[in-house]
Structure 1
């Protein structure tokens, strides 16, 4: 990864953050909680994937449609967030796999 890649990544992230800040306050709160959750749970491809930008796209469409954020995603924000990453490999999965491949992991 060269310096130009780093600069481009920062530029894209700043543009993404600006889009989030343009959302209504209730959308911003839900987005930030979901983002925090994703950073903790960590779908492995989160940094390179399109999950967060697509979530902002989805929220922007909800704003245009005049819907509240909970009307758009439902009352259970955690369940909605889990549904978005249900088929994604997480860091917890990678950790479990690393434990099972260590010598002596079979209990002998």
Structure 2
């Protein structure tokens, strides 16, 4: 990864964050909770996937349709987030595999 890649990545992240800041406060709160959850246990390749941008797209459509964020995702933010990554390998999966294997296989 070269310096140009780092600079471009920062530009993209700042543009992404500007889109989030343009959302209504309730959408921002829910987005940040989803983001925090994903960064904690979420998909292994989160940085390589467009998932976060797709969530912002979905939220922007909800704002345009004049819907509240909970009308879009339901009352359970964690269940919504889990549903988004249900088919993805997560850090939680990796951890679970490391502790449920046979003794001495955790590092393999």
Coordinate RMSD, CA, aligned: 1.7
Query: Match for residue 22 of structure 2?
Result: 22
Correspondence for 2:87: 87
Q: Which runs of 5+ in 2 are unaligned?
A: none
Structure 1, unmatched stretches of 5+, are none
The equivalent of 1:71 in structure 2 is: 71
Query: What is the TM-score of this pair, normalised by structure 1?
Result: 0.89
The answer as to whether partners of 2:35 and 2:52 remain within 8 angstroms in 1 is: yes
What corresponds to 1:5 in structure 2?
5
Contact 2:73 2:80 in 1 (8 A): yes
Q: CA deviation at 1:91?
A: 1.1
The whole-number CA distance in structure 2 between the counterparts of 1:19 and 1:4 is 23
Q: Report the CA distance between 1:93 and its aligned residue.
A: 1.6
2:48 is paired with a residue whose SS is coil
Q: Distance in 1 between matches of 2:28 and 2:45?
A: 23
CA contact (8 A) 2:20 2:28 kept: yes
- The answer (yes or no) to whether the contact 2:42–2:85 under 8 Å persists in 1 is no
Q: How many residues align?
A: 105
